[in-house]
């Protein structure tokens, strides 16, 4: 009953402000204010306000929220304990994925190295054959792997 009175008063005050705004020839703003001021009385008439006050002020509802929070906490603790026991459950697929990537490389390819010179930073179109005898087999293997 008290919440209905408060919502009715808020709606009446909002409609008064909307009337003053319309008097000042700001009709668009007055329409918006009137729309917002009708929301509280609409909530009272639909019964949502009574339902919300029942939810907020009933101890049994808060006990239910407490039980749900305890349930969520127990679930998270069990997940953490499971991960610690198995050694991190989700790391195993990542290790298998990394092994598959290693197998996908060309057989003759080695890890790229940054040797003397700046051959690694040169664009491919401008690469010259070196008379120093540099080995570009790893680069050729990578290019072949990508079909270039």
Q: Residue 131 has what pLDDT?
A: 54
The verdict on residue 50 lying in a domain is yes
* Stated length of the chain: 148
User: What is the per-residue pLDDT across 47-58, written as a single tens digit (0 to 9) for each?
Assistant: 998 888 888 888
- Residue 140 belongs to some domain of the structure: no
Q: Rounded mean pLDDT of the chain?
A: 81
User: Does residue 51 sit within a domain?
Assistant: yes
Does 87 fall in a domain?
yes
Instruction: Specify the number of domains making up the chain.
Output: 2
Tell whether 3 and 53 lie within a shared domain.
yes
**Residues 43 and 85 occupy one common structural domain:** no
Domain boundary among 35, 57, 79: 57
**48 and 73 both lie in a single domain:** no
Q: How confident is the model at residue 69 (pLDDT cuts 50, 70, 90)?
A: very high
Is the model's pLDDT at 64 over the cut of 80?
yes
Q: Is 42 found in the same domain as 81?
A: no
Report yes or no on 32 lying in a domain: yes
Residues 73 and 53 in one domain: no
Segments forming the whole domain that contains residue 41:
1-57
Residue 119 lies in a domain: no
């Amino acid at each position: 009953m008290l919440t209905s009175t408060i919502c009715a008063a808020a709606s009446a005050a909002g409609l008064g402000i909307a009337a003053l705004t319309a008097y000042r020839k700001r009709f668009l703003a007055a329409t918006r204010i009137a729309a917002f001021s009708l929301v509280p009385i609409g909530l009272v008439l639909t019964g949502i306000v009574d339902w919300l006050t029942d939810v907020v002020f009933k101890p049994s509802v808060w006990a239910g929220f407490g039980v749900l929070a305890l349930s969520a906490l127990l679930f998270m603790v069990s997940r953490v304990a499971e991960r610690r026991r198995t050694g991190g459950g989700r790391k195993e697929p990542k290790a298998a994925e990394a092994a598959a990537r290693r197998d996908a490389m060309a057989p003759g390819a080695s890890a790229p190295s940054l040797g003397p010179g700046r051959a690694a930073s040169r664009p491919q179109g401008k690469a010259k054959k070196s008379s120093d005898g540099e080995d570009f087999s790893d680069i050729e293997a990578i290019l072949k792997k990508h079909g270039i």
